Amino acid sequence: DIQMTQSPSSLSASVGDRVTITCQASQDISIYLNWYHQKPGKAPKLLIYDASNLEAGVPSRFSVGGSGTDFTLTISSLQPEDIGTYYCQHYHHLPYTFGQGTKLEIK
């Protein structure tokens, strides 16, 4: 199985800060990567698909990059509604494993 490793595991930042989360795959997954955002007590929501495409309604302060084994998710100016846990997920081949998550909090 492909292992997905996110860093950091948790992050505390101030409103307006630039925040970057990284996701590393244990083998080349091309662009077969999604990002999800889970707010506390809620179901996850699709944020980014195919490594670089923002889901409809996702603010432009979110940007992504990477291919192969290394990927990033950046929030250019952190907002209070961005808190929660972010997960990457590959879909190169089954099983489609998730990263362990990055918990984002506001200072």
Partner 1 sequence: EVQLLESGGGVVQPGGSLRLSCAASGFTFSSYAMSWVRQAPGKGLEWVSAISGSSDTTHYAVSVKGRFTISRDNSKNTLFLQLNSLRAEDTAIYYCAYGLSTLEYWGQGTLVTVSS
Q: Which is nearer to partner 1, 58 or 76 (CB)?
A: 58
Shortest CB 67 distance to partner 1, Å: 16
Q: Name residue 37's amino acid.
A: H
Instruction: Report d(CA 21, CA 37) in Å as an integer.
Output: 12
DSSP letter at 92 equals S
Greatest CA separation found in the chain? 38
Rounded least distance, CB 72 to partner 1, Å = 19
Would you give the distance in Å from CA 3 to the centre of its chain? 15
Q: For partner 1, give the closer residue by CB, 67 or 97.
A: 97
Interface residues toward partner 1, by CB under 8 A: 1, 32, 34, 36, 38, 42-46, 49-50, 55, 85, 87, 89, 91, 94-101
